[in-house]
């Protein structure tokens, strides 16, 4: 008769965190589309990182003998109006795009996450002040920001990163603030307070880790916007400067040579591919990390 | 409701003030000032220009003067002596037309697509529509513009590549706008579609929709009268916000298609180092955005009865 | 029982989850006579809501429903969409737990009550409005005319729930399913709602299925009670019988866990807990679902599910060792 009762006491102790991590990883692997996206992203990152080693030609190497050439074995994607190899410039351009994309997003997160934590946790006037600050940031489209910055410190990589970073803040701030606000009402907060934890400790050690999933999703979805933004700014002459290679600059050059449409198509397709990869991955991550599905 | 509106207006004023200060400081931070530019290498002229442009007075005074004039709509003169305000006012109609037409097309495409995708969640239609939206969202709009120009204008000669014709000639006017409108509408439609779908999914999953179904109402009524009504409030505000974004951010498109719009002014200003113009343009851009947002808040408060009516006193 | 209004046989509701299929409701059978109030009692997750929602087919598409649920001879589970809509409008009404969210915030109360009348019964706008006012009166809302143009957020929780009940009664259904109608309300309001349901049963003769996890609520209103555990029926009995002579160890445990004010031996009376926790539906034991927590469990119990047997007059139990308090 006491057999059943004894059985209760031998429930094995499983480490909840590693179990969760394995569960998430399994879910990810099950979604082939997401895995494919990750492969594409890794490919582009490698292309950018290894560009100096892998590119058949330098990005500046002009060759007036072979201007506007069609694709051939020597120049897989042809050459542009100065005889520069398109493929090589494409690889070097990946460097610029990845750099700006990742750094701008990182900058945005660096600003948005702490501000959001504070705004959601304290409420009251810090929240109102930060909300107004967000409104101010939103009032400047990233192009205008880049224009202003370019006027002050000159066009370049830094200008692009800062302008796009600031433009990325409002969206992430909304998420981090929302999460912080709702997590503050969670049960573990008064428990932590009761055990003597200070505000900062509660925010960073308790609330922040729980905010991670939606922030990861938001970051993944911000990167493609930053990449497209980088191309746009380069196109306008506000970002990377010539003769450095960026997909945006390649598109600008292509604008003057409509007779060779390949020059316009190729960099654009590269942008679409990498942006698509990040966007689809971000959506998949949102499903995978959905707290309603993890126990 | 009045309390709500008062608070929002107050916030808007604060934001405009903050924006004006930032713009002012930003312009001041630009190396080289008006005086140096205007004096054109003549050192003796510098003090004259410094005095003319109030550069010898303390910052708050300069800001005060500028802000006071700006409030009256005076943004100074650009390098050719034309009042900045005149140029801005001249350029706004083109941008306005571009923004309006693009928004119209985007709404016609995006909102119904979002509703349909939500009602057929998970099925082929949904996957197709959502997939299209994701791809459209990943396409840089200026690239799309380039391709369209190359194909339709240069290759086929169906539509003009650049330029703008006023309303006096409606056919030509529209012909010049077809491509830019398509370019802008694509991006906005993609976003609208996803947000409409998301709002509809939220509504469709809400308890009151379940209640409506349990009452035996037809699916049309449930979706149309209950879910859509609620989602429409959110979607309407999104549409208004997109309009604001189009007004203030169509710079690249106007640049590619050679449209004499307001968005381009900023680009032109920085290329010609005309910082007075730049100052005015940046401020007006921000103010447009804040005003549109305020308008959105007003509309929202009118549409949502929870805000429009306060609780009945008992 | 003379021809019951509702006869449910072998009702099962299956969900597909990432860890495999799960039976939220497992071969549930019960009947309900016209004008009777049946209370379905159990802890959260025992399947009581799922079972009743399946009757009106309000479950998400991912649920597979099997079994038969005959309302006056017509199988609700076999109806096509059109017939289902009619049934939902006229025969079966559902009152949900949360009055705050059950009403559409952007439509007036009058509009929400009226739309069933105009859409299904075909009343004119004015007639529908008049009837809506009548219904509000029926659920004892003061000044009903003035409330018709109010929005849900302008009403208190108790009033909202009354509006929901009014909506449910609009087409004079034969069966009203009230899913935890008082759980989200203050204790002081609860009594009012329960009284209202009782009065409606007396005045209109509507059969009511009352779902709750609170035995006290059931004691007030129900004629018979069905106790569910892990998707299965544990015990079913007339109300008085259930309280005076509970048979299933789970029911006995539930009774023991009720704090009783002013009991004779108050000082020595401890709340008796049922040891262990509710099993997750993925990890049900092979035999009786309650066995891990039951002091009467033995080898037989753990091997095979118990059959439902009649142990007293109209008193059924699914247990190998039924009987009074252990």
Average pLDDT, chain B: 84
Q: Does residue C242 carry a pLDDT above 50?
A: yes
What subunits touch chain A, counting only 3 or more CB pairs under 8 A?
B, C
Residues 16-35 (A) with a CB less than 8 A from some CB of C: 27
Out of A139, A232, A267, the one facing B252 most closely (by C-beta) is: A232
pLDDT at position A65, please? 76
| Nearest C-alpha neighbor of B159 from the set B146, B170, B172, B168 | B172
Segment A99-127 mean pLDDT: 91
d(CA A222, CA C225): 56
Highest mean pLDDT among A11-25, A73-87, B121-135, C249-263: B121-135
- Whether A222 shows a pLDDT value over 90: the answer reads yes
pLDDT of residue A3: 43
Residue B135 has pLDDT above 60, yes or no: yes
Residue B34 is predicted with a pLDDT of: 64
For residue B311, pLDDT over 60 is answered with: no
Q: How far apart are CA A91 and CA C273, in angstroms?
A: 69
CA distance linking residue C13 with residue C61, whole number of Å: 11
Choice among A200-214, B282-296, C59-73, C187-201 with the minimum mean pLDDT: A200-214
What CA–CA distances, in Å, run from B233 to B60, B200, B293, C44? 43, 11, 15, 35
Instruction: Report how far apart, in Å, the C-alpha atoms of C131 and of each of C23, C95, C117, C140 are.
Output: 42, 19, 8, 14
* Percentage of residues in chain C having pLDDT higher than 70: 94
Q: Six-digit token pair at C225? A: 């009670």
**Share above pLDDT 90 across residues of chain B, in percent, rounded to a whole number:** 16
Q: What percent of chain C has pLDDT over 90?
A: 5
Location of each CATH 1.10.3720.10 domain in chain B: 91-310
Residues of chain C in Cβ contact (below 8 Å) with chain A: 18, 275-276, 291-299, 302
| Facing residue for A258 by CB, picked from B26, B154, B269 | B154
Q: Is C290 on the interface with B (CB under 8 A)?
A: no
Q: Which of A135, A130, A219 is nearest to A177 (CA)?
A: A130
What pLDDT is stored for residue B314 in this prediction? 34
pLDDT in the model for residue A166: 93
Q: How far is CA C269 from the centre of its chain?
A: 31
Nearest chain A alpha carbon to C285: A4
What distance in Å separates the CA atoms of residue A110 and residue C232, rounded to the nearest whole number?
53
Tokens representing residue C322 in the block: 């039924």
Between A278 and B26, name the one with better pLDDT. A278
pLDDT band at C268 (very low <50, low <70, confident <90, very high): low
All chains having 3 or more CB pairs closer than 8 angstroms to chain C? A, B
As a whole number of angstroms, the distance between CA B194 and CA B187 comes to: 11
In this predicted model, which residue has the larger pLDDT, C293 or B287?
B287
Residue A285 burial (CB < 10 Å; 0-12/13-18/19+)?
Answer: buried
What's the confidence (pLDDT) of residue B189?
94
Q: What is the pLDDT, as a whole number, of residue A9?
A: 45
Quick check: A68 and A96 in contact, CB under 8 A? no
Q: Is B26 on the interface with A (CB under 8 A)?
A: yes
How far, in Å, CA of B278 to CA of B267, rounded? 9
Res C297 pLDDT > 80: no
Answer whether residue B213 shows pLDDT above 50.
yes
Contact indicator for A169, A112 with CB cutoff of 8 Å: yes
CATH 2.160.10.10 fits B91-310, yes or no: no
Confidence grade of residue A11 (pLDDT, cut at 50, 70, 90): very low
Q: What is the pLDDT of residue C267?
A: 54
Partner residue facing A235 (CB), from B30, B142, B270: B142
DSSP letter for each residue of B142-159? HHHHHHHIIIIIIIS-SS
This complex has an ipTM of 0.84
For residue A253, what pLDDT band results from cuts at 50, 70 and 90? confident
- Phi, psi torsion values for B282, nearest 5 degrees: -60, -40
pLDDT at A221 over 90: yes
Q: In chain B, which residues have their Cβ closer than 8 Å to the Cβ of A235?
A: 142, 252
The residue-averaged pLDDT of C242-271 equals: 71
pLDDT score for A165? 94
Across A183-209, average pLDDT = 78
Residue A272 banded pLDDT, cuts 50, 70, 90: very high
What is each CA distance from B104 to B117, B137, B192, B240, B243, in whole angstroms? 20, 18, 12, 11, 10
For residues A17-41, give the mean pLDDT. Answer: 84
Q: Does C220 touch chain B (CB under 8 A)?
A: no
Determine, for residues C294 and A8 on separate chains, whether the beta-carbon distance falls below 8 Å: no
For range B48-61, the mean pLDDT: 72
pLDDT at residue C262, as a whole number: 58
Check CB contact of B240 with chain A, cutoff 8 Å: no
C291 and A5: CB-CB below 8 Å? no
Strands C224-229 and C207-212 come out as unpaired
- What number is the average pLDDT over the span B246-259? 85
Give this prediction's pTM: 0.79
Quickly state the pLDDT bin for A295 (edges 50, 70, 90). Answer: very low
Quick: pLDDT tens for A170-180.
989 988 998 88
Q: Which residue has the tokens 């004629």?
A: C223
Q: Give the confidence band of A38 by pLDDT, cuts at 50, 70, 90.
A: very high
The structure tokens listed for C273 are 């807990």
């Amino acid at each position: 008769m006491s057999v059943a009762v004894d059985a209760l006491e031998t429930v094995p102790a499983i480490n909840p965190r590693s179990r969760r991590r394995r569960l998430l990883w399994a879910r990810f692997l099950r979604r082939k589309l997401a895995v494919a996206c990750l492969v594409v992203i890794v490919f582009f990152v490698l292309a950018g990182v290894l560009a100096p080693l892998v590119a058949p030609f330098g990005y500046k190497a002009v060759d007036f003998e072979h201007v506007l050439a069609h694709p051939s074995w020597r120049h897989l994607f042809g050459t542009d109006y100065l005889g520069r190899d398109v493929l090589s410039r494409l690889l070097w351009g990946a460097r610029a795009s990845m750099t700006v994309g990742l750094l701008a997003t990182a900058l945005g997160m660096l600003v948005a996450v702490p501000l959001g934590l504070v705004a959601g946790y304290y409420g009251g006037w810090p929240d109102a002040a930060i909300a107004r600050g967000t409104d101010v940031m939103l009032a400047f489209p990233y192009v205008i920001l880049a224009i202003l910055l370019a006027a002050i410190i000159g066009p370049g990589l830094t200008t692009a990163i800062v302008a796009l970073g600031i433009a990325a803040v409002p969206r992430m701030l909304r998420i981090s603030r929302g999460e912080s606000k709702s997590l503050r009402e969670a049960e573990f907060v008064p428990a932590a307070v009761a055990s003597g934890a200070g505000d900062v400790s509660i925010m960073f050690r308790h609330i922040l880790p729980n905010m991670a999933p939606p922030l990861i999703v938001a970051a993944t979805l911000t990167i493609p916007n930053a990449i497209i933004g980088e191309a746009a700014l380069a196109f306008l002459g506000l970002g990377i400067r010539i003769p450095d290679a960026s997909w945006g600059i390649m598109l600008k050059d292509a604008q003057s040579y409509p007779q060779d449409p390949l020059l316009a198509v190729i960099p654009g397709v590269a942008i679409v591919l990498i942006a698509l990869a990040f966007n689809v991955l971000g959506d998949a991550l949102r499903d995978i990390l959905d707290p309603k599905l993890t126990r | 409701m009045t309390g709500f509106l008062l608070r929002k207006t107050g916030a808007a004023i604060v934001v405009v003030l903050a924006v004006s200060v930032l713009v002012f400081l930003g312009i001041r931070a630009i190396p080289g000032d008006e005086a140096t530019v205007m004096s054109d290498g003549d050192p003796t002229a510098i003090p004259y220009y410094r005095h003319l442009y109030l550069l010898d007075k303390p910052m708050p005074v300069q800001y005060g003067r500028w802000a006071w004039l700006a409030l009256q709509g005076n943004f100074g003169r650009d390098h050719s002596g034309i009042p900045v305000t005149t140029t801005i006012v001249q350029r706004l109609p083109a941008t306005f037309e571009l923004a309006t037409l693009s928004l119209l097309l985007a709404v016609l495409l995006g909102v119904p697509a979002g509703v349909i995708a939500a009602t057929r969640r998970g099925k082929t239609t949904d996957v197709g529509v959502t997939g299209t939206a994701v791809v459209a969202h990943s396409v840089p709009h200026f690239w799309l513009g380039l391709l369209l120009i190359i194909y339709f204008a240069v290759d086929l000669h169906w539509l003009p590549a650049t330029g703008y014709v006023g309303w006096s000639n409606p056919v030509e006017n529209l012909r010049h706008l077809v491509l830019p409108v398509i370019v802008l509408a694509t991006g906005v439609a993609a976003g609208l579609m996803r947000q409409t779908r998301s709002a509809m999914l939220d509504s469709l999953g809400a308890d009151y929709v379940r209640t409506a179904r349990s009452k035996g109402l037809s699916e049309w009524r449930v979706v149309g009268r209950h879910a859509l009504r609620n989602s429409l409030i959110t979607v309407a505000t999104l549409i208004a916000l997109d309009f604001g974004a189009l007004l203030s951010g169509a710079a690249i498109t106007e640049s590619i298609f050679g449209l004499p719009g307001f968005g381009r002014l900023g680009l032109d200003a920085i290329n010609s180092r005309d910082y007075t113009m730049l100052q005015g343009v940046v401020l007006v851009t921000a103010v447009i955005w804040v005003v549109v947002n305020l308008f959105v808040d007003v509309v929202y408060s009118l549409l949502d009865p929870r805000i429009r009516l306060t609780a009945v006193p008992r | 029982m003379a021809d019951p209004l509702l006869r449910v046989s072998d009702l099962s509701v299956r969900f597909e989850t990432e860890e495999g299929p799960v039976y939220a409701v497992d071969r549930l059978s019960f009947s309900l006579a016209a004008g009777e109030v049946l209370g379905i009692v159990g802890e959260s997750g025992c399947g009581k809501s799922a079972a009743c929602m399946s009757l009106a087919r309000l479950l998400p598409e991912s649920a597979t429903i099997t079994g038969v649920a005959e309302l006056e001879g017509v199988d609700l589970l076999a109806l096509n969409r059109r017939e289902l809509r009619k049934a939902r409008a006229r025969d079966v009404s559902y009152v949900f737990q949360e009055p705050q969210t059950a009403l559409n915030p952007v439509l007036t109360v009058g509009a929400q009550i009226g739309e069933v009348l105009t859409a299904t019964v075909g009343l004119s706008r004015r007639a529908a409005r008049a009837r809506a006012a009548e219904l509000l009166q029926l659920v004892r809302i003061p000044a009903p005319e003035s409330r018709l143009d109010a929005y849900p957020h302008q009403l208190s929780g108790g009033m909202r729930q009354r509006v929901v009940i009014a909506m449910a009664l609009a087409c004079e259904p034969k069966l009203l399913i009230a899913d935890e109608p008082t759980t989200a309300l203050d204790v002081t309001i609860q009594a009012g709602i329960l009284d209202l349901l009782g009065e409606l049963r007396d005045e209109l003769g509507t059969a009511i299925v009352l779902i709750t996890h609170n035995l006290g609520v059931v004691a007030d209103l129900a004629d018979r009670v069905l106790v569910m555990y892990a998707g299965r029926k544990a015990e079913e009995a007339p109300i008085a019988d259930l309280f005076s002579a509970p048979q299933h160890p789970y029911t006995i445990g539930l009774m023991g866990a009720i704090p009783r004010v002013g009991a004779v031996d108050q000082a020595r009376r401890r709340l008796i807990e049922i040891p262990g926790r509710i099993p997750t539906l993925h990890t049900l034991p092979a035999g009786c679902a309650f066995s891990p927590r039951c002091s009467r469990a033995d080898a037989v119990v753990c091997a095979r599910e118990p059959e439902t047997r009649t142990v007293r007059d109209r008193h059924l139990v699914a247990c190998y060792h039924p009987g009074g308090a252990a």
